[in-house]
Structure 1
C-alpha cells in the first residue's frame, strides 16, 4: 500500500497485500481528506468493506491503474494470413507476412505486420486506446483501435512505406514511423 497527499485528496494505491486493519491504521492519523483509490492487485472482500466504510466518512473515488497495462504475451504468426483467416489474441500480435484483404487480426495489445496490411486490424480490442497498428505497408480499408474506427480516404495512392496508426486527440492518426502524417 502506498499513500500520498494531493492538493484535494489522499491518493491510495492498493497492491493486494493489505488487510482491513492495515488500511484503517494507515489512514487513522492522516487528515480526513477524500480518498482516491487505485487498485493494482487482488483485493479481498474485507479490504473492500473497510474501504467503503472509510469512503462514507471521507468521500471515495476509484481511479484506473496508472501506467502500462499488462498485456499477457506476444503472439507471433509466421505466415501470410489469407482471406477468411482470423487471429484473435489477448496480447500483442506480430504477423511475419502479409494480412490479405478479407483476413482479420484482433488483439488486446498492438498489431505489428512485417508485410502488407490489407485486411481488417483491430488493436486494443478490449478498450486499450494506447494500442497501435504498425505495418511495413498500411493498405487496409478500415482500421480499429479500441472503440475508434477509421476508413481509408478514397483514391489513396500506392504504398508509402512503414507506417503506424494510433489514437491522438480522439481520432486514429496514421503517420510514417517517426514523422506525423495524415488524419483518417
Structure 2
C-alpha cells in the first residue's frame, strides 16, 4: 500500500497485501481528506468493506490503474523453435535461433528473434500496444501486436535484413534496424 497527499485528497494505492487493520492504522493519523483509491492487486472482501466504511466518513473516489505495464521477466529460448511448437511467455521472449513456419511464439512483452522469423509471432498478447517484434530476418506470413494483425503481401519475400515491427497510429509498421 502506498499513500501520498494530493492537493484535495489522499491518493491510496492498494497492491493486494493489505488487511483491514493495516488500512485503518495507516489512515488513523492522517488528515480526514477524501480518498482517491487505485486498486493494483487482488483485494479481499474485508479490505473492501473497510474501504467503504472509510469512504462514508471521508469520501471515496476509485481511480483506474495507471498505465503501468508490468512485464515480469525476460525468457530466453536458446534453440530453434520447430514447426508445431507453441511457446508462451508472460514477459519478453528472446529466441536465439529461428522460428520455423508452423511454430508460434506468444509474449506479453516484446519478441526478439536472433535468427529468421517465419512462424507466427504475437507480441503484447495481453494488450500492450507498446510491444514490438524484432527479428534478424522477418519472413513471417502473419504477425500480431496486441489486437493488431499484419499479413505479408502475397508473393513477396521478406527483407532479409534486421527489422522491427511496432504499432504506429493503429497499424503495424516495419522498420529497418541495426546496420545501415
Quickly name the TM-score band, shorter chain normalised: 0.7 to 0.9
CA contact (8 A) 1:12 1:36 kept: yes
Q: Which residue of 1 aligns with 2:90?
A: 90
5+ unaligned residues in a row in structure 2: which ranges?
none
1:3 aligns with 2:7: no
Q: CA RMSD in A?
A: 2.9
Q: Partner residue of 1:181?
A: none
From the superposition, tell whether residues 19 and 89 of structure 1 become closer, same or farther in structure 2 (CA, over 3 Å). Answer: closer
Specify the alignment match of 1:99 in structure 2. 99
Instruction: Give the Cα–Cα distance (whole angstroms) in 1 for the partners of residues 177 and 171 of structure 2.
Output: 18
1:82 & 1:101 partners in 2: Cα distance? 8
SS in 2 for 1:82: coil
For residues 91 and 37 of structure 2, what CA distance do their matches in structure 1 show? Answer: 29
Using the size of structure 2 for normalisation, the TM-score is 0.76
TM-superposed CA distance for 1:114, in Å, is 0.3
SS in 2 for 1:126: coil
Q: Using the TM superposition, give the Cα deviation of residue 106 of structure 1 relative to its aligned residue in structure 2, in angstroms.
A: 1.4
Contact 1:107–1:124 under 8 Å retained in 2: yes
Structure 1 residues 140-169: Cα deviation after superposition (integer angstroms, max 9, x where no partner) = 221112222122345645425222222334
- Which residue pairs with 2:33 in the alignment? 31
Q: Residue in 2 aligned with 1:69?
A: 70
Unaligned runs of 5+ in 1: 179-184
- Is the 1:81–1:97 contact (alpha carbons within 8 Å) kept by the matching residues of 2? yes
Answering whether residue 124 of structure 2 is matched by residue 124 of structure 1, we say yes
Could you list the per-position Cα deviations for residues 82-117 of structure 1 after superposition, in whole angstroms to 9, with x for gaps in the alignment? Answer: 332322233322211111222211122221100111
> Is residue 19–residue 46 contact of structure 2 (8 Å, CA) maintained in 1?
yes
| Rounded Cα–Cα distance in structure 1 between residues aligned with 2:52 and 2:148 | 35
Note if contact 1:38-1:65 (Cα within 8 Å) is conserved in structure 2: no
Residue 60, structure 1, aligned to residue 61, structure 2 = yes
CA distance in 2 between partners of 1:60 and 1:142 (Å): 43
Q: TM-score, normalised by structure 1?
A: 0.75
**Residue 8 (structure 1) shift:** 6.4
Compute the displacement of 1:48 (Å).
1.9
Tell me by how many angstroms 1:23 deviates.
Answer: 2.7
Specify whether residues 70 and 79 from structure 1 end up closer, same or farther in structure 2 by C-alpha distance, changes over 3 A only.
closer
Going from structure 1 to structure 2, the CA distance change for 1:11 and 1:156 (only over 3 Å counts) comes to: farther
* Number of aligned residues: 175
